[in-house]
Amino acid sequence: MAKDNKLSRSLSSRQIQMIALGGTIGVGLFMGSAATIKWTGPSVLLAYGLMGIILYLIMRALGEMLYLDPSTGSFATFGSNYIHPVVGYLTAWSNVFQYLVVGISEVIAVGTYLHYWWPNLPAWIAGVVVIVTLCLANLTSVKAYGELEFWFALIKVVTIILMIILGLLVIIFGFGNHWQPIGISNLWKHGGFFTGGLSGFIFALSIVAASYQGVEVIGITAGEAADPQHNIVKAIQSIVGRILIFYIGAIFVIVAIYPWNQLDAVGSPFVETFSRVGITFAAGIINFVMLSAAMSGCNSGIFSSSRMMYTLAQRGELPKSFMKLSKHQVPYWPVVTISIGILIGLILNTLAPLVFPKATDLFVVVYSSSVLPGMVPWFVILISELRFRKMYPEKIVDHPFKMPFYPWTNYIAIASLLVILVFMFLNPDTLISVIIGIIFLVVMTGVYYLQYGRQKRA
């Protein structure tokens, strides 16, 4: 056991930045982001840009508070301290729920990607191997987790950079297109730039918001970051810009090269783009990248949700055994519990179709239900920072990393997120997942007041 019962501060700046990048750049981008493009066409570029600005404001609000209190499970702790204990409880459990669901979906995806090379390999075997491997990596040390996530993220980043460079060569010089430049006319042909109108644009925003979820993991790493003030500030300053470059750059290449209304026939635009310039084994490359992306998502899920369970135990809302640290200063019971939860999800996914032939549809709904719980930390961060300023005005006087244009930026970001939620209710494709998310939050609120309401009031 760790003698001082404190988490180890051993995550470096490069690891923190790659953890945030890896948590945000997922499998969806490599499959062409068809869901966002179909709603609004080429204007999806603006959707990613606008959501990126909102995300930047959220991260700046988080950074202002983290600079003074770099604690593990930060935004859940801030929710309890600056809003209400039930808010911190809901934030922590929303994070656990979100990453448990993401972890299950990513492990299932691993089996699918491995079928490319080994079509007869049972998906559950691959899933079990991945869960055990990532569980052991997370138990070894936080540094081992950080290093593994660094390389997972680096694979994705290098692939996207190559995609952007090759795509620009095709667009500008016609490389791979008989030296006939494709140009950018596909951005306004085929129905114009805003093909879905205002409603389609905002519908796309909800899916874009979901694709950005995970960047707030920077806040969870704060309690285990070396030199947290310097490294967290550095990570926040650079991370959003990098994410915007990667997302907007890749999607610009996709919608410029391929007519947006023909993307369904293209399959993966990444594979097609690499193949176009003569990389004939592109499908294998992208499949490997998606495999690493899925493992990265599961790896982040185990780390993030286990630290939130550790935070809940610190507040007396989970058994004290969840606070125990190994000799490597890792909270081993949360890591093992989350890994078992992902394993149970994998088993249910394997068995359910045998009992309920339409169970696959049910799992798709459950996976998408993590979108609303994933937005909870964003609301909590923005509102907590408003309360933080009012409670500690003296700490802001010489603060080197203030939220820009406070409080109007908070209000604008909150209002934007609320508009996205309203349109998620209006969109039949996202309605059920939002309802499931609301049910989860209502149930957990009831659990909190039944178990801790009287104790907290006392």
pLDDT digits (tens, 9 = 90+) for 165-179: 888 988 898 887 778
Convert the pLDDT of each residue in 199-230 to its tens digit: 888 888 887 887 788 777 776 766 666 777 77
pLDDT tier, 384 (very low <50, low <70, confident <90, very high otherwise) = very high
How far lies 217's CA from each of 5, 131, 174, 311, 318, in Å? Answer: 22, 20, 40, 14, 21
Does residue 32 have a pLDDT over 50? Answer: no
Q: What is the structure's pLDDT at 272?
A: 74
Does residue 374 have a pLDDT over 60? Answer: yes
By mean pLDDT, which of 3-17, 239-253, 337-351, 376-390 is the weakest? 3-17
Cβ pair 6, 152 in contact under 8 A: no
Characterize 156-195 residue by residue with b for buried, 16 or more Cβ atoms within 10 angstroms of its Cβ, and e for exposed: bbebbeebbebbbbbbeeebbeeeeebeeebbeeeeebeb
Residue closest to 412 by CA, chosen among 56, 18, 81: 56
Residue closest to 330 by CA, chosen among 8, 3, 95: 8
| CATH class belonging to 13-457 | mainly alpha
Cβ pair 95, 23 in contact under 8 A: no
In the chain, the percentage of residues whose pLDDT exceeds 70 is 86
Q: What is the structure's pLDDT at 1?
A: 45
Convert the pLDDT of each residue in 262-301 to its tens digit: 776 666 677 777 777 777 777 788 888 888 888 888 888 8
Q: What is the structure's pLDDT at 29?
A: 64
In the chain, the percentage of residues whose pLDDT exceeds 90 is 16
Mean pLDDT of the chain: 82
Mean pLDDT over residues 63-83, rounded? 81
Q: What is the structure's pLDDT at 27?
A: 59
Tell me the C-alpha distance between 408 and 401, whole Å.
17
At 354, phi and psi to the nearest 5? -70, -30
Mean pLDDT over residues 349-373, rounded? 70
Q: What is the structure's pLDDT at 98?
A: 87
Convert the pLDDT of each residue in 434-449 to its tens digit: 898 899 999 999 999 9
Alpha-carbon torsion angle 374, 379, 380, 386, nearest 10 = 160
Does residue 346 have a pLDDT over 50? Answer: yes
Instruction: Return all residues near 418 (Cβ < 8 A) that are at least 6 apart.
Output: none
